[in-house]
Amino acid sequence: MNNLQGVWRGFASDNYAGIHPNVLLAISQANVGHQVAYGDDAVTAKLGEVMREHFGADAQVFPVFNGTGANVVSLQAMCKSWESVICSSDAHIHADEGGAPEKVAGLKLHLVDTPDGRLTPETVRTQAWGFGDEHRAQPKVVSLTQVTELGTVYRPEDVAALVEQAHALGMYVHMDGARIANAAAHLGMHMRAFTSDVGVDAVSLGGTKNGAMGAEAVIILNPELAPAIKFVRKSGMQLASKMRFISAQLVALFEEDLWLKNAHHSNQMAMLLYEAVANIEGLEIDRPQANSLFPILPNEITQKLKEDFAFYVWNHMTGKVRWMCSWDTTTQDVDAFAEAIKASFANR
């Protein structure tokens, strides 16, 4: 990467992108006068109205600082101390949250291998057993990620099948929706189509990756979970005193169509990148479903490209890397990266 102290562009993560101007404006507009602390403010009340429009009349919203917090608070509210969570071995709650579900919530994670990141009733069944056995942490939650950590998307019928199985076993379903907007954009449908409409119990709603400064939320869709949330959010250090500034970011994104516009754009930039490099001989790459690509590159090409462009190596053994587009990725960014990729392969 060049010019590390200044302005530069990369494809490592949508967390690298800046804040959407509308979100910055919303924070500024909320910075007037006094408001009651800890969520009893007018902006957070407005956010509740907005989220009910998206997820239904029973939806309750609990803003938090970050995605790890949203996931841990959700799971902690859904599980007793002897219960456990079934998730993909690629799931963020297992691979990328520093053990927070275990350390903070004290939860056992039962892992399922998923070649494309998506759980199925068949794979969940490999861990959904031992009910009543005091020697096994009792499975209580199925946690899935939308979009998955491998860039794949669950269709409503996929989620519905998992919900049906989980509920039949007396379990809950949690959705890590850090990139839920990108999933909705890809599917061409509303978020509720694969959440509240199919029986998901709780959603970790992502905002930061889609243009917020730092704002996520727990969306409770099953009312029986709501009483625990305010206590686990506080004890989990996710209760903001000046919550209006978190809520304002999410209102700015979700009150109108900014969330969807940003997601469509980042998805489109990923597709543009794919189309620009898909025919390069020797490059293994699949068509993107959302805003990420996971090509397999020779190591020497990866190292050469990383001199000028930021991106992550996803699997050092296979050479798989991740290229991620953001709400502010431009066609010029894509063109420059694509030309560098083509030149690297041509000069091997």
Domains of the chain: 21-254 (3.40.640.10), 258-346 (3.90.1150.10)
Residue-wise pLDDT tens digits, 303-346: 999 999 999 999 999 999 999 999 999 999 999 999 999 999 99
Residue 168: HSE in the Cβ half-sphere, 13 Å Cα cutoff: 11
Q: What is the pLDDT of residue 5?
A: 56
In the three-class reduction of DSSP (H, G, I as helix; E, B as strand; rest coil), residue 140 is classed as strand
* 169 CB-contact burial (10 Å; exposed 0-12 / middle 13-18 / buried 19+): middle
* 299 CB-contact burial (10 Å; exposed 0-12 / middle 13-18 / buried 19+): exposed
Q: What is the pLDDT of residue 9?
A: 86
Burial 239-260 (b: 16+ CB within 10 A, else e): bbeebbbbbbbbbbbbbeebbb
Those residues whose C-beta lies under 8 Å from the C-beta of residue 290, and which sit 6 or more positions away, are 147, 151, 153, 179, 182, 183, 185, 186, 266, 267, 270
Written as six digits, the tokens of 115 are 């070649």
> Could you tell me the sign of the dihedral formed by the alpha carbons of 40, 46, 47, 53, in that order?
positive
Read off the DSSP letter of residue 135.
Answer: T
Q: What is the pLDDT of residue 1?
A: 46
The alpha helices in the chain, defined as continuous H runs, are 21-30, 42-55, 67-78, 92-95, 100-103, 121-125, 156-168, 180-187, 226-235, 244-254, 258-277, 299-305, 331-346
pLDDT < 50 stretches in the chain: 1-2, 4
Q: What is the pLDDT of residue 6?
A: 65
